[in-house]
Amino acid sequence: MDSLLERGGVLFEFGLILIVGYIFGNLANLFKLPRVSGYILAGIIMSPSLLGIIDRKFLENADVVTHASLSIITFLIGASLSWKRIKRFGKSIALITIGEAELAYILVTLAMGLYLSLTQDYDLSLVIALALLFGSLASPTDPTATLAVIHEYRAKGPLTTTVLGVAAFDDATGIINFVLGLSVALALTSGSSLSPGAVMQEIVLQIFGAVLLGLLMGAVMFFLGRFAKERKEVITLTVGMLLLTLSIARVLGVDELLSTMSVGIAIANLGDAWEEFGKPLENYIEDLIFTAFFVVGSAFLDLKVLISFFPVVLIYIASRFAGKFLGVYLGGHLSGASEKVKRYLAFALFPQGGIVIGLALLAYQNPNFKEVGSILVNVVIGATVIHELLGPISSKLALTKAGEISSK
């Protein structure tokens, strides 16, 4: 097998990823599970930590696959947020996002701080710094798995609209929390004073810069789309513009995923542009993107890491979900959301991965956290294993309980 993989090269591995992902997706459906659960399981089984069908060399160069997939996935999330669709739930989305993101931040910070102080021989300042980093990483939700479930079962209703809105704004809220948490943690570990001005400047650059870039690129894409005569031309234009947006965001130092999501938001609110730009992606290449992204992304997950850090991983997951659940209920109560949204939305917000691993790696690469960075990264990756495996199932359960999908 090793010889075949070596001689077949990258194209052989990628073809295998798509075929095995397709097979496991169908097997998941046989057991009444979302297809994405099968994709994730296929990635873990094929990963270097198990069968090694996907080798480490492939994963080292897989950022092209994951970034291209994420640009399209986040575009589709943004494209679901037309003002006409969300204005009815705007107050609920705003208050619920603040509630679940910030309570997850607070509860994880407290839980991890208590655990680390009892089990690790670190200075108090280092314990607080590491706890703050864990807390800031608890805010974001990975909307990719939930979006895959929503599209697979064609879910519609108040919970579906609210979860897409909350998950989208979670990204922005999570970045704000991370910038704040990282700044305080750096001040604590380096002994330097905290500069509120520098923190605010970083937040403005990351968030508003990404939104402005995305809206501008969306407007350009809408203009160029007027010259496209067939849907196949629209797909070429859309994918090309999204890859350009992601690349420009990286050069400018603004949030990449928020920028491509903002392209989708622009398209969703420019007349009937969604029918022209979003539908072709949904109908023709969405399943290819989901298969590639989840199989490749899951191959990064190492079950040995999960076993090594299992107690602290469970604390992180439990305190994060408690914060999400309480925050959803509190925000939903204050905004007058329906009982179904208050009860089930937190379960649809359970998935987490992608962006949090990237943020954890940013902290890990900082010399100030050399002593504790490996704990941060390993716990986050270990938690991602559980979040990504159970997330699609949790999302489907929430949407089913809310009566927004039929059994399949």
Short-list 113, 190, 179, CA closest to 371: 190
pLDDT value for 221: 87
Task: Look at the domain 63-297+309-401 and name its fold.
Answer: Na+/H+ antiporter like fold (1.20.1530)
Dihedral sign for Cα atoms in the order 93, 338, 138, 110: positive
Mind listing the pLDDT tens digit of every residue in the chain (408 residues)? 555 556 666 788 888 889 999 999 899 888 877 787 788 888 888 888 888 888 888 877 777 777 788 788 778 777 777 777 667 667 788 888 889 989 999 999 999 999 988 887 878 888 888 898 899 888 878 766 677 778 778 888 888 888 877 877 776 677 778 777 777 887 777 666 656 666 677 667 777 888 899 999 999 988 888 777 676 777 888 889 999 999 999 898 887 778 888 898 888 887 665 566 666 666 667 778 888 887 887 787 777 767 777 888 899 999 999 999 999 999 988 888 888 888 888 888 887 765 676 667 667 667 777 667 677 777 877 787 788 778 778 888 888 888 888 654
pLDDT value for 407: 55
pLDDT value for 106: 93
Structural contact between residues 46 and 17, judged by C-beta atoms closer than 8 angstroms:
yes
Structural contact between residues 27 and 40, judged by C-beta atoms closer than 8 angstroms:
no
Short-list 216, 255, 224, CA closest to 240: 224
Structural contact between residues 291 and 298, judged by C-beta atoms closer than 8 angstroms:
no
pLDDT value for 178: 78
- Distance (Å, whole) CA 215 – CA 218: 5
Residue 382: phi, psi to the nearest 5? Answer: -60, -40
- Distance (Å, whole) CA 172 – CA 75: 15
Dihedral sign for Cα atoms in the order 189, 178, 306, 63: negative
pLDDT value for 276: 62
Other beta carbons less than 10 A from residue 106's beta carbon = 16
pLDDT value for 321: 93
How far is the CA of 254 from the CAs of 260, 267, 324, 395, in angstroms?
11, 20, 27, 30
| Side chain identity at residue 71, one-letter code | S
Structural contact between residues 283 and 240, judged by C-beta atoms closer than 8 angstroms:
no
Q: Which two tokens stand for residue 43?
A: 């990635």
- Distance (Å, whole) CA 70 – CA 144: 8
Q: How many CA atoms lie within 13 A of 253 on its CB side?
A: 5
Question: Helix 339-348 to helix 158-190 angle, to the nearest 10 degrees?
Answer: 50
pLDDT tens track for 168-218: 777 667 777 877 777 788 777 766 665 666 667 766 777 788 889 999 999
- Distance (Å, whole) CA 170 – CA 111: 21
What is this structure's pTM?
0.71
- As a residue count, the chain comes to 408
* 51: helix, strand or coil: coil
| Side chain identity at residue 269, one-letter code | N
Short-list 33, 27, 63, 26, CA closest to 296: 63
Residue 337: phi, psi to the nearest 5? Answer: -70, 160
